[in-house]
Amino acid sequence: MKTRAFHSPEIRLSAFHKSISRSSAIDARGFKPFILAMVIGALLSGCGSDPRVKETDEGGAQPTVTTKSSDTTAEEIAAASEGLSDVSMPAVVSAAELRSSSSTKAARLNEQSRQNYSTEKREPKRARHMAQESDSALFAAVRPIPELHEQSLGRDREQYLAQQHNPIRQVSEHPVSTFSVDVDTASYSNVRRMIMREGRLPPHDAVKAEEFINYFRYQYPQPESESQPFSVHTELMASPWNPKKRLLKIGLQGYQPQQRPAANLVFLVDVSGSMQSENKLGLAKRSLKMLAQQMRDDDRIALVVYAGAAGVVLPSTPGSEKYKISAAIEQLTAGGSTHGSAGIQLAYDIAKQNFINEGINRVLIASDGDMNVGTVNHEALKNLIADKRKSGVALSTLGFGSGNYNYALMEQLADVGNGNASYVDSLKEAHRVLVQQMNSTLMTIAKDVKIQVEFNPQAISEYRLIGYENRLLKREDFRNDQVDAGEIGAGHSVTALYEISLKGSGAESISPLRYATQNQVAKIDRSAIVTHSSELGFVKLRYKQPTENDSQLISFPLSQELLTSDKDVSVDMQWASAVVGFSQLLSGAKYTADWGFDDALELARSAKGDDVYGHRAEMINLIELSQQWQLAQH
């Protein structure tokens, strides 16, 4: 039995779209919509049949769609519609629509193009400006088209951990602050997506101050050797939103080896139905292919997928076989439910089978985090990964998409997996995480890194740690090597900011106790105060080498000389204060008084400094847009 292979009308019209949808700006004259309608009418009238039909001998098979002549069709249409390349068209036309009345469709599309032309004719400067911005943007040609946000449709299911701002602490009652480091940056790029692409301010819980600060690089002193894998930098300045208070910065700079060891990577890709959007699986595929191109011959990559079940698409393959790896990634399609736990189990098994001693062994999850089959309890998934990390295989997460993005789960999986959490909203961000900062993303130089600061009550009356709300540790956890903490990647920088009130400055936020007793004062070691009266506090850091189980200690005092250096504040310190101020405004502005977006904008512009990749300029743009979205809400 012979079957017919035919050319899909969707394919031909898709080619037509590509030929005429190169720009959002319209410079056509009044007769061009008429020509456009005629071209569309001619296409639609021929959708029912095609003279270029060939016979096949595959009995019983379904009609096969071929695209051999789609390029010719696109060229013919492009030639017929010369000069109409700036006319906007609908992004998708379904087969059902194509089978409906061709004259009705032509009329409807003709009317739409007239409306588009009329609108942009009234605002030609704005249209040209938007087109110029799009043309000049990095990776603009392949950046995913922004989609209508699910929130506007009443279907927003994004999940974030509920968090409360760290409170102001009195040094006399709580002199010690302890927390784990965090090098995640997912919060910043996710919030950027909301502000820049969706035109809205983020929910407060989506904003994590530490991930905003650590998105940017700072010019900290480089460590001298790998034996002490990071250097420490401190600085002090007046708080921008309360000049009577001070901002204390503690910055760590990770060691950058000359060459990374061989890598054994397993790409674990979510191909469930929720990943069908182009800014989900489509962007994930292009991002992973970008990383695959950076692999050396001694590296290995395996590809595992999960939906209703999990499977191996590509066994562990040498990094030299880039075409084979890219082809395996490219063939992925989405559909079905999400059995995340099965995929995680299988990915760890593959990584363990190909384990590289003294190398990089890591699973990279690419997902929206929407797991709904198998082990869906977050604690159970975290326990699974915590058990697997003992094998020496780390896990990092790459988040994609909107509407159902589960930030809470993706962050926690990376935390317990000794990895880092990133959110990819564009190819530009994928390039930053997987190319520019590949070594930082893949290679761990120190694990279980903890910071403890003891403030001198004779010098400082109050303090507040900005951010790190879900990284706080108990005081006794600092010396307990069984307590998990964050990792630092090669070349990573980690920054923490405290807002402090100097004793006698009048900046205190908490009133003194009426019934304070001598017993409370006696808790302070008087001899220590006398001996260390020149210190603001004392900083201690604990960390483990990547392959060791016992921690090492670094400690140093915070000299009162910092008080004199705050008159000569570095550009990096000013920029960090602008970033953390911006994050606080987005998360409720509980402690920033009357300081607003205009103040953040002024500070950020003055502290932009050296901006090689344009990341700081981009944040300035985010502040400007946030100010507009805030005004639109009132």
Angle between helical axes of 597-606 and 615-633 (0-180°, round to 10): 170
Domains 169-257+445-506+526-633 and 263-438 share a fold: no
Closest CA to 25 of 144, 136, 124: 124
Residue pLDDT, tens place only, 168-222 = 999 999 999 999 999 999 999 999 999 999 999 999 999 999 999 999 999 999 9
How many Å separate Cα 566 from the centre of its chain?
Answer: 33
pLDDT recorded at residue 508: 94
Residue ranges per domain, the chain?
Answer: 3-136, 169-257+445-506+526-633, 263-438
CB 488 within 8 A of CB 394: no
Q: What is the CATH number of domain 169-257+445-506+526-633?
A: 2.60.40.1230
Closest CA to 619 of 213, 186, 181, 160: 213
- Topology annotation, domain 263-438: Rossmann fold (3.40.50)
Helices (H), 266-377: 283-292, 322-330, 340-353
Distance CA 308, CA 68 (A): 34
State the Rg of the chain over Cα. 28
Residue pLDDT, tens place only, 345-371 = 999 999 999 999 999 999 999 999 987
What single string gives the DSSP state of each residue in 89-120?
A: --S---HHHHHS-HHHHHHHHHHHHHHHHHHH
Query: Identity (one letter) of the amino acid at 77?
Result: I
Residue 561, both tokens: 């000389």
Distance CA 330, CA 267 (A): 13
Distance CA 131, CA 25 (A): 6
pLDDT recorded at residue 533: 78
Closest CA to 408 of 215, 124, 198, 205: 205
pLDDT recorded at residue 375: 52
Burial group, residue 633, by CB count within 10 angstroms (0-12, 13-18, 19+) = exposed
Distance CA 174, CA 459 (A): 14
Helices (H), 304-437: 322-330, 340-353, 378-388, 407-416, 427-431
- The pTM assigned to this predicted structure is 0.76
Distance CA 299, CA 475 (A): 41
pLDDT recorded at residue 376: 59
What single string gives the DSSP state of each residue in 421-438?
A: EEE--SHHHHHIIIIITH
pLDDT recorded at residue 569: 95
Residue 531, both tokens: 């001996």
501, β-bridge pairs: 462
- Ranges of the chain with pLDDT below 50: 1-40, 42-110, 113-114, 116-148, 152-154, 525, 527-529
pLDDT recorded at residue 183: 94
Q: Which residues contact 471 (CB under 8 A, 6 or more apart)?
A: 179, 180, 181, 182, 210, 486
